[in-house]
Structure 1
Amino acid sequence: MSTWHYLPVFVEDEAKVEYSICEVFLDDDGLLEAWTEICSIAASGESADELRSDLEYMLNDVACWAPVRFSDLTVGMRLHPTQSHSA
């Protein structure tokens, strides 16, 4: 089933590497189909409970995927699970 996920991504320059969360859309085969235009999104909600729920979902989803360089995202790529989620 096609769905949106939260993916840890990073950007780097000569001075540092910075990690953030990007929202990505996976097709029915689990391949990357689309992603947010910017590399960093924020949790949100219409109430404090919705915000907490969004943050919990983001953290759980980000824990499933190995980080990817934001500039390397391409349509059709397969994301790799973290070692703890690949067994």
Structure 2
Amino acid sequence: MSTWHYLPVSVERDGGIEYSICEVYLDDDGCVASWTESSSIAASGETADELRADLSHMLNDVARWEPVRFSDLAVGLRLQPRGIAL
């Protein structure tokens, strides 16, 4: 089932590496089909409960996959599982 997920990504900044979260859309085979233009997104919600649910979704997804360099995202990329779920 195609759906949006949160992915830990890294970018080089000021001579170091910074980690953040972007959204990726996975196709029916679990491969990246598209992603957000920004390498860093924030949790949000119209209520505090929606914000908590979004944060929980982010934590579960980030624990699910190994980080990817944002510049390496490509259509068809298969994410590497971490084997750890919250």
Shorter chain as normaliser: what TM range?
over 0.9
**TM-score calculated relative to the size of structure 2:** 0.93
Q: Distance in 2 between matches of 1:13 and 1:61?
A: 24
* Residue 58 of structure 1: aligned partner: 58
Pairwise mapping of residues 65-84 of structure 1 onto structure 2 (< 5 A)? 65-84=65-84
RMSD: 1.2
* Residue 41 of structure 1: aligned partner: 41
Aligned residues: 85
Aligned partner of residue 75 in structure 1, secondary structure: coil
Percent identical residues: 69
Q: Distance in 2 between matches of 1:30 and 1:64?
A: 13
Task: Render the CA deviation track for 1:36-82: whole Å, top value 9, x for unaligned.
Answer: 00100000000111101110111111100000000000001100001
Task: Render the CA deviation track for 1:24-46: whole Å, top value 9, x for unaligned.
Answer: 00000111100000100000000
Q: Distance in 1 between matches of 2:54 and 2:14?
A: 33
Aligned partner of residue 59 in structure 1, secondary structure: helix
Unmatched tracts of structure 2, length 5 or more: none
**TM-score calculated relative to the size of structure 1:** 0.92
Aligned partner of residue 18 in structure 2, secondary structure: strand
**Deviation of 1:14 (Å):** 5.7
